Amino acid sequence: MSGPCLDFTGRRVLVAGGSKGIGRAMALAFAAAGARVSVCAREPGLAALRADARALGLDVHTASADLAVLDDIGRWLGDAAGALGGIDVLVNNATGYGMDDGEAGWEASLGIDLMAAVRASRLALPWLRQSSDACILNLASIAALQPRPGAAPYAAAKAALMHYTTSQALALAPQRIRVNAIAPGSIEFDDGLWARRRTQDPALYHGTLARIPFGRFGQPQEIADAALFLCSPLARWITGHTLNVDGGQVLMG
């Protein structure tokens, strides 16, 4: 008898914040696995995502949205559920990258990294409850696990998101909705944070690289692979868990 696999044929997957980097990799990976996928993000990145999908022979539904705005989240969820025929998987990936310890930094991280996930999860529940295999996946960060004086808002928001994941998992288990999180390590991709730091702050770049036991930065596809597993039937008995995907980076402190 064959067991469950990473086949998402017929499943409806929504990715909040998916126009580049990790979000893009997840959206394309779910689509390649057979899922019907909807992505929301700021418009400039969506055109490139649609082109990338077409080049791979994939079709991805997209919608422009500001995930710091409640009405935008609700509008995207309604449009996406209508276009795909429902929602089975919600991936909360958006980040405001609030690094500065001022009002703007805290508003960006709490408003997007945390509250966008809270709002999208709550508003998606009517559709998730109708699914026979529903799950929510939150994208946290290993920054949540250690003091980050240079990025306190980002780290605090991700720590809150990790804790919220456990609360969500317990609250939604009676409804058979699984909730997990991924905590990526340092991930490098074109025009991403670490690609920019390679030239803008080489000391930080190489210092971080030296603390990754595998000797390289992670790649978005490696996070996408973990996302497919956690949202698949192979993880059907996993909920309330945060999976570090970091090449052992967190082990180095």
CATH of the domain at 134: 3.40.50.720
Residue type, 184: P
pTM of the model: 0.94
In contact, 249 and 142? CB cutoff 8 Å: yes
Pick the catalytic residue from 97, 154, 164, 205: 154
Angle at 158 between CA 198 and CA 162, to 5 degrees: 135
The first and second tokens of residue 91, run together, are 């991936």
Say if 90 falls within a structural domain: yes
154 is catalytic: yes
E strand or H helix at 134, and its extent?
Answer: strand 134-139
Is 205 within the bounds of a domain? no
Q: Which domain holds residue 140?
A: 12-189+220-243
Residue 194 covered by a domain: no
What pLDDT tens digit does each residue of the chain (253 aa) get? 334 458 999 999 999 998 899 999 999 999 999 999 999 998 888 999 999 999 999 999 999 999 999 999 999 999 999 999 999 999 999 998 777 889 999 999 999 999 999 999 999 999 999 999 999 999 999 999 988 888 899 999 999 999 999 999 999 999 999 999 999 999 999 888 888 888 889 999 999 999 999 999 999 999 999 999 999 999 999 999 999 999 999 999 7
Residue 147 domain flag: yes
Count of domains observed in the chain: 1
100 located within any domain: yes
- In 3D space, the residue among 5, 23, 1 whose CA is nearest the CA of residue 13 turns out to be 23
